[in-house]
Structure 1
Amino acid sequence: MMDEILMRYLDAGQVVVSNLLLYNYRDLGLDESEFILILQLLSRDQQGKTVDLNEISQAMHLQDSQLGEVLRGLLEKKILRLVTKTDAAGKKYDKYDLSLLYAKLFKFQNELQEKQVAKQAQTDAKSVYQGIEVEFGRPLSPMELQTIDLWLNTEKYPPELILLALKEAVLNQVYNLKYIDRILLSWEKQNIKTSADVLRNQQKRRHAFENTERPKERGNRAKPSIPMYDWSKDD
């Protein structure tokens, strides 16, 4: 008995539906009846079957008039469209096209991603303002806020890069934005754009420092963990 049921289950086939649609159909403006109808259409399309609305209405336990209302709703929402196709024998037939649904789903995902990117950008920018205020030990002046806004929105410096420049300034015990700006300009000239670029630059400076230090001096004093660089003398 179980073997027979399993064979029926396998013979019935399966409908493939993206999780993007499964998880977001409500955000696309679909209700449950509309979503189930889409699954019914997808099932027949993937099996290469002709759409039989009477068969679908029976499967969904809907009267023909009720199914017609659901179908009209999908057409009005521009989720579905009816197109005319021609088979191999030259006979014309109607087909329900779901390409509008996919286009709407992709648009929704793009807009969602853009919102997430914008939200992350706001979070990163906030960390820059707060990080500088914490290190400076005081609120930022309107002019300083304008300078930071220029870095973020005009110069397009990545927030992580600004925070690293802040760290360099603090290590040199300099607490003003002009000094940080010189660091950022120097990095820009050297095509330093990421934290990985900064790390490589620091390693390069450390290596140069160690190679130029005299052997005697090298033995008499400990090596600094981070080389100090006077950014005010950078051209």
Structure 2
Amino acid sequence: MNPKEMPRLPLVLIAAMFVAGAIAYPHLPARIPTHWNAAGRIDAWAERSFASVFSEPLLALGMYVLFMVMPYFDPRRRNVLRSKQVYFLVLELVTGLLAAIFAGTVLAAFDPTFRMDRLVLVGTGVMFVVLGNHLGRVKPNWTMGVRYSWTLSDEVVWVKTNRLGGRLFAAGGLLTIACAFVPPPANVVIMLGWVLGILPVTYVYSMRLYKQRHPEEMAPPEADGSQATGED
């Protein structure tokens, strides 16, 4: 991917995270929260350090570089470039979620009662809703989209499966947002349930659609004459 074509918004968010972290660093307590359980309670802490405070900005920067180089390894790189608006949108959504998590982590360092679980669920849900509404625009490739052998072998199967996957992602995103206000552990169970449910639904749908379009490939091989007559 040409660096000049890469979106600027993720870089702005990454820079803002580093600046905000530098400003907040001297005022942070000696220990900061690093993990929350399903109930939204802090269950892991770390000593204040560059690595613990700037983990999200560093991860976001690494994601930006990864998104820049991933298309070079895709056999269908041309289709990734044809879908670059959605590709860039994914990068912006992921960076935005990491920025929100970073802000929540800093707030929780000063106020351990901050509901980090709700922030993560709402942010993840919004990401799924937006992504789901654009998934159907992605061209066949090995980098993003609903990628099965069936979808990668037939463009019509790819388009229809990704449209279905997009609708399921959008609906699941709304459900994830609602889960932010459902008590644990039901919220996590519901969210994981629909995420895991999408896989078999889209897989079976794409397989059946491919079989309908290519019945000749699914027919059993015909036995040769010698096997049919019992001859040597």
TM-score interval for Structure 1 and Structure 2 normalised by the shorter chain: under 0.3
Greater Rg by CA: 1
- Which structure carries more helix by proportion? 2
* Higher RCO, 1 vs 2 (CA within 8 Å, ≥6 residues apart): 2
